[in-house]
């Protein structure tokens, strides 16, 4: 058979809510995914109830129930008495008609089995068989004791649960019948599988509701009168077993009702300590007992209304079911244990050290990881069930240290402001840029005390919520390149400034040098032009004189030839 509680991996978001709710911490995290450990699980269904992403699902056995009907065997339903609180019906007669429409032979109330079981409990008390008697109706409680409380196991009543008692009665009356139990419980699927054939299939109320919808069967359209009242119908409420029993005086027994996993665990520790004696303890793993079952609690939680419906249906009477030939109800409760190998002290201390918990005062025991103490968390890490990153204070401290290291060692000035432009955080570079000695003295002050607010207000008004500019800060004689970002989701304005003063001063020096060079060049050019002009003037005069002399020489020579 496939696991009863299954995981939809794609939906598991690493929130650890399931491990916080699990009373026995039977969940292992692998690759940041939650995996149920079957050998340790008590099938209380709390992980299914609390999962915010619906990553846990209960195995659907509708196909198996339909196969039984199709086989031709008479299939009888044993319906948990909490049906009256979960469905919009006034009596079981309405439910029986709907079950017949689905193809079942007929339906009966599991409260018949409850009557048989409570009668057995009364006889045990009358015979004073045990100094402490723990009810065995809740399979999750039975698993809790069989796996985790071996010293309380002798006090667990060796009596079949109402489901098994009723199934046994049905099969003795109809040997060829198949029995399908329907209720609000996850663990009953496991109990049915281990029943040795007494129960052939277990459906949840959700499964039945799904089936009724498929067949378009509406319970409120079925009108069947039934005004009977039966005392054992109180079973699904807190203290319901005790209300169904005849609590005889003179036995010396006290009667207690305990509901909820934590309360059951606390009570079992008391039982093991030996401080309790001469008492009958009704235990239910679910808060509010069966009307608070996981397949009911997952979708609705109306304890007052649910209790009221059970109260009205059971009635204020001592009348109960009558069974002519009750079956034998004895059951052996075996010790199951869990396969946990406790790590050594040095391993635990090594993990604690990795979590930054080297001294007892470092162990916050906040429970955010799902474990009650840091030490229990360290043990889970050693067992391979948890990892270091499940510790919220550890992650927060590491993230803060990491971010602080980056922010305080970046050369850029970073200033974080709220929407009122009050400083929320700034780094060392910002303090140096603005001449602030201590960052703490600036936090909470408006940015206008240090810088002009105009650019920040403009960015907050922009749709894109960001800007980049280069400007001069006259009050600090600094040039900066500034990126401003407004995060609308977190309502913060972030300024990141790079000090470019040295670069700008070098640029100014270069500009001045270029200007001087141009001036010198202009002077040189002017001087060269004057020299050239003077040379040209001198050359012009010499050329003219030479021309005159040569002309005269030419004329003289011509005259001599004549």
Per-residue model confidence as pLDDT tens digits over 234-245: 999 999 999 999
Kindly state the average pLDDT of the residues 149-167. 96
Q: From the CB of residue 83, how many other CB atoms can be counted at a distance below 10 Å?
A: 26
Give the per-residue pLDDT at 532: 73
Provide CATH code, domain 341-409: 1.10.15
Buried b (16+ CB within 10 A) or exposed e, 489-526: eeeebbbbbbbeeeebeeeeeeeeeeeeeeeeeeeeee
- For 439-479, the three-class secondary structure string (H helix, E strand, C coil) is HHHHCCCEHHHCCCCHHHHHHHHCCCCEEEEEEEECCCCEE
As a whole number of Å, the CA-based R_g of the chain is 44
Q: Is 294 exposed, middle or buried (0-12, 13-18, 19+ CB in 10 A)?
A: buried
Q: For the chain, how far is it from start to end, CA to CA, in angstroms? A: 148
pLDDT in tens, 288-316: 899 888 887 655 567 788 888 888 888 88
Alpha-carbon distance values, 88 to 108, 221, 295 (Å): 18, 10, 16
Give the per-residue pLDDT at 344: 84
Token pair of 97 as six digits: 């008609």
pLDDT in tens, 504-539: 788 878 878 888 877 777 777 778 778 777 777 776
Report the candidate in 418, 431, 490, 118 with the shortest Cα–Cα distance to residue 280: 118
Domain ranges of the chain: 60-314, 341-409, 410-499, 504-536
Alpha-carbon distance values, 544 to 359, 455, 532, 534, 552 (Å): 110, 75, 18, 16, 12
**Percent of the chain having pLDDT more than 90?**
45
Give the per-residue pLDDT at 300: 59
Give the per-residue pLDDT at 360: 80
Kindly state the average pLDDT of the residues 348-352. 84
Alpha-carbon distance values, 181 to 88, 346, 545 (Å): 19, 50, 140
Topology agreement, domain 341-409 and domain 410-499:
no
Q: Check residues 258 and 231 and name the one with the higher pLDDT.
A: 258
Three-state DSSP class for residue 159? strand
Strands annotated E in 338-419: 413-418
Which residues are CB-contacts of 18 (< 8 A; sequence separation ≥ 6)? 27, 34, 46, 47, 50, 51, 56, 370
| Domain 410-499 -> CATH class | alpha beta
Q: Which CATH number fits domain 60-314: 3.30.450, 3.40.630, 3.40.50, 1.20.140?
A: 3.40.50
pLDDT in tens, 364-412: 777 777 787 888 888 888 887 877 776 666 666 666 666 677 777 788 9
């Amino acid at each position: 058979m496939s696991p009863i509680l299954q995981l939809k991996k794609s939906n598991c978001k690493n929130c650890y809510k399931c491990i916080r709710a699990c009373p026995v911490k039977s969940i292992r995290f692998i690759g940041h995914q939650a995996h149920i450990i079957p050998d340790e699980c008590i099938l209380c269904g709390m992980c299914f109830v609390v999962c915010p992403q619906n990553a846990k699902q209960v195995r659907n056995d509708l196909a198996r129930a339909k196969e039984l009907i199709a086989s031709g065997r008479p299939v009888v339903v044993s319906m948990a008495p909490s049906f009256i609180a979960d469905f919009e019906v006034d009596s079981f007669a309405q439910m029986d008609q709907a079950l017949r429409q689905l193809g079942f032979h007929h339906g009966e109330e599991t409260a018949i089995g409850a009557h048989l079981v409570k009668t057995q409990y009364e006889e045990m008390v009358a015979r004073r068989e045990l100094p402490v008697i723990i009810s065995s109706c809740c399979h999750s409680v039975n698993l809790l004791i069989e796996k985790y409380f071996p010293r309380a196991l002798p006090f667990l009543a060796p009596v079949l649960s109402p489901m098994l008692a009723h199934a046994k009665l049905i099969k003795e009356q109809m040997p060829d019948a198949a029995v399908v139990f329907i209720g609000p419980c996850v663990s009953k699927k496991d109990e049915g599988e281990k029943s040795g054939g007494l129960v052939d299939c277990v459906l949840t109320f959700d499964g039945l509701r799904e089936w009724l919808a498929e067949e378009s069967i509406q319970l409120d359209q079925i009108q069947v009168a039934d005004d009977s009242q039966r005392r054992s119908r109180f079973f699904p409420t807190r203290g319901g077993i005790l209300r169904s029993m005849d609590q005889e005086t003179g036995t010396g027994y006290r009667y207690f009702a305990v509901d909820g996993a934590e309360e059951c665990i606390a009570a079992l520790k008391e039982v093991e300590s030996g401080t309790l004696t001469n008492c009958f303890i009704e235990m239910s793993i679910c808060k509010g007992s069966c009307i608070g079952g996981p397949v009911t609690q997952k979708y609705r939680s109306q304890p007052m209304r649910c209790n009221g419906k059970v109260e009205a249906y059971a009635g204020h009477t001592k009348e109960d079911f009558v069974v002519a030939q009750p079956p034998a109800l004895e059951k052996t409760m075996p010790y199951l244990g869990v396969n946990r190998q406790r790590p050594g002290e040095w391993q635990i201390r090594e993990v604690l050290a990795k979590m930054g918990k080297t001294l007892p005062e470092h162990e916050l025991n906040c429970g955010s990881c799902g474990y009650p103490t840091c030490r229990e968390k360290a043990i889970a890490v050693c067992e391979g069930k948890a990892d270091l990153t499940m510790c919220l204070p550890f992650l927060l401290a590491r993230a803060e240290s990491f971010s602080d290291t980056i922010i305080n060692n970046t050369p850029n000035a970073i200033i974080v402001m709220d929407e009122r432009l009050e400083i929320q955080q700034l780094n060392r570079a910002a303090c140096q840029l603005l001449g602030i000695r201590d960052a703490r003295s600036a936090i909470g002050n408006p940015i206008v005390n240090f810088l002009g607010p105009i650019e920040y207000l403009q960015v907050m008004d922009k749709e894109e919520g960001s800007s980049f500019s280069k400007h001069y800060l006259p009050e600090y004689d600094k040039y900066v390149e500034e990126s401003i970002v407004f995060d609308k989701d977190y309502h913060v304005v972030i300024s990141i400034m790079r000090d470019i003063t040295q670069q700008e001063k070098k640029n100014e020096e270069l500009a001045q040098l270029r200007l001087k060079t141009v001036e010198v060049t202009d002077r040189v050019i002017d001087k060269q032009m004057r020299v050239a002009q003077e040379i040209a003037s001198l050359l012009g005069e010499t050329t003219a004189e030479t021309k005159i002399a040569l002309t005269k020489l030419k004329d003289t020579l011509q005259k001599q030839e004549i």
